[in-house]
């Protein structure tokens, strides 16, 4: 299996992304790293431990990372309810947080994986602070990665938290710029793509009908996720941003995108996190990311439903 680390701030859709990874034999979830984002770091870490407990995978270590962004003042998410998981009660974890800072562990695991010939794929689904800290501590770390598959950003759909910016990039734009400039092979899942991954009532019903304890927990998480904002999304339900990162590793044929140069505004505070892509090669800046823009949503949900229903 392909070794991955999920770097996360759970978060309803983060929790579902973790469960999808656990349900997928093609992937080996080496560790879960936590970062402040949707909620404060301590809540993110507790939630990550609870999700692993729910899936009976307390053997996977959770390392806590950065408690605040690199430079900007801190912001938290708005739509994940108190404590970050929409009020859903997941089992109390028996496992504690593992020793070692997430950024330091990322460096160690990355080089170790590279040395075995199976390089690590990094899956950041929260602000990019831990990845940036790892790059600052060890500028060679990015060269050890197979890929970085990021949920973040927005282009034709520029923002979900400000008119300009998507939350993960907005919450730490300076970190995002460091990662984009690191030389890593980056694949981005921006809002343009994730707003096609709508957990509609019909899809949630199919998940419920597919059965299983984990699917039932996900259905419960998703009841908090529908903000009834049809104007924004074009259909009822809520977007499953973060699970698209894992979906891409499992079935890249469901995704279409383009390799382009991407930059992020770190200069203008009210436009922090605004992303610009050179879609048509109008500058001489070399491409630094593959930006996904089109999802086969039915294929994605069929995969998610099949996998979650089979996870015991």
Between 168 and 290, whose beta carbon lies closer to ligand BDR? 168
Closest approach of ligand BDR to the CB of residue 138, in Å: 25
Q: Please tell me the distance from the alpha carbon of residue 78 to that of residue 80, in angstroms, as a whole number.
A: 6
Examine residue 135 and tell whether it contacts Ca ion (CB under 5 A).
no
Closer CB to ligand BDR, residue 151 or residue 246? Answer: 151
Give whole-number Cα distances, 111 to 21, 27, 28, 178, in Å: 22, 18, 16, 19
Beta strand 120-124 with 275-277 is unpaired
Residue in 195, 241, 261, 274 annotated catalytic: 241
Q: Which of 3, 5, 7, 13 binds ligand BDR (CB under 6 A)?
A: 13
Nearest to 189 by CA among 79, 293, 302, 296: 293
CB 211 within 8 A of CB 217: no
Q: Is 241 a catalytic residue?
A: yes
Helix (H) / strand (E) containing 114 = helix 102-115
Q: Which residues, 6 or more positions from 221, have their beta carbon under 8 angstroms from its beta carbon?
A: 12, 15, 16, 85, 86, 88
38 part of the interface to ligand BDR, by CB under 6 A: yes
Binding segment toward ligand BDR, per CB under 6 A, in 162-170, 262-270, 274-282, 283-291:
162-170
Interface stretch with Ca ion, choices 4-12, 96-104, 136-144, 231-239 (CB under 5 A)? 4-12
Q: Which is nearer to ligand BDR, 130 or 160 (CB)?
A: 160
Torsion angle (degrees, nearest 10) of CA 154, 158, 164, 168: -30
CA end-to-end span of the chain: 19
| Among the listed residues 160, 196, 288, 290, the single contact to ligand BDR using CB under 6 A | 160
> Exactly one of 14, 43, 192, 265 binds ligand BDR (CB under 6 A); which one?
14
Question: Could you give the residue numbers annotated as active site?
Answer: 241
For Ca ion, the binding residues (CB under 5 A) are 11, 14, 125-126, 242
For ligand BDR, the binding residues (CB under 6 A) are 11, 13-14, 38, 77, 125-126, 151, 160, 166-168, 241-242
């Amino acid at each position: 299996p392909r070794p991955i680390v999920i770097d996360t701030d759970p978060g309803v859709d983060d929790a579902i992304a973790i469960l999808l990874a656990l349900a997928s034999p093609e992937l080996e979830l080496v560790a879960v790293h936590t970062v402040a984002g949707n909620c404060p770091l301590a809540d993110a870490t507790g939630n990550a431990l609870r999700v692993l407990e729910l899936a009976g995978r307390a053997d996977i270590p959770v390392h806590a990372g950065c408690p605040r962004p690199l430079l900007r003042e801190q912001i938290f998410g708005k739509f994940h309810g108190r404590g970050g998981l929409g009020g859903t009660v997941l089992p109390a974890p028996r496992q504690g947080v593992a020793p070692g800072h997430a950024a330091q562990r990322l460096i160690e695991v990355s080089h170790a994986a590279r040395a075995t010939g199976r390089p690590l794929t990094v899956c950041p689904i929260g602000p990019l602070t831990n990845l940036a800290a790892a790059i600052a501590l060890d500028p060679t770390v990015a060269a050890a990665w197979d890929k970085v598959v990021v949920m973040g950003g927005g282009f034709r759909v520029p923002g979900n938290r400000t008119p300009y910016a998507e939350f993960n990039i907005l919450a730490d734009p300076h970190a995002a710029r460091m990662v984009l400039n690191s030389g890593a092979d980056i694949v981005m899942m921006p809002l343009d793509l994730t707003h096609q991954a709508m957990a509609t009532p019909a899809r949630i019903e199919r998940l419920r009908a597919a059965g299983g304890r984990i699917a039932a927990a996900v259905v419960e998480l998703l009841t908090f996720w529908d903000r009834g904002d049809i104007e924004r999304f074009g259909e009822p339900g809520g977007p499953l941003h973060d699970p698209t990162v894992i979906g891409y590793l499992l079935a890249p044929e469901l995704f279409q995108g383009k390799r382009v140069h991407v930059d992020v505004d770190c200069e203008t505070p009210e436009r922090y996190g605004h992303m610009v892509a050179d879609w048509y090669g109008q500058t001489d800046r070399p491409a630094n990311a593959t930006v996904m823009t089109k999802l086969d949503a039915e294929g994605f949900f069929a995969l998610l439903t099949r996998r979650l229903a089979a996870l015991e």
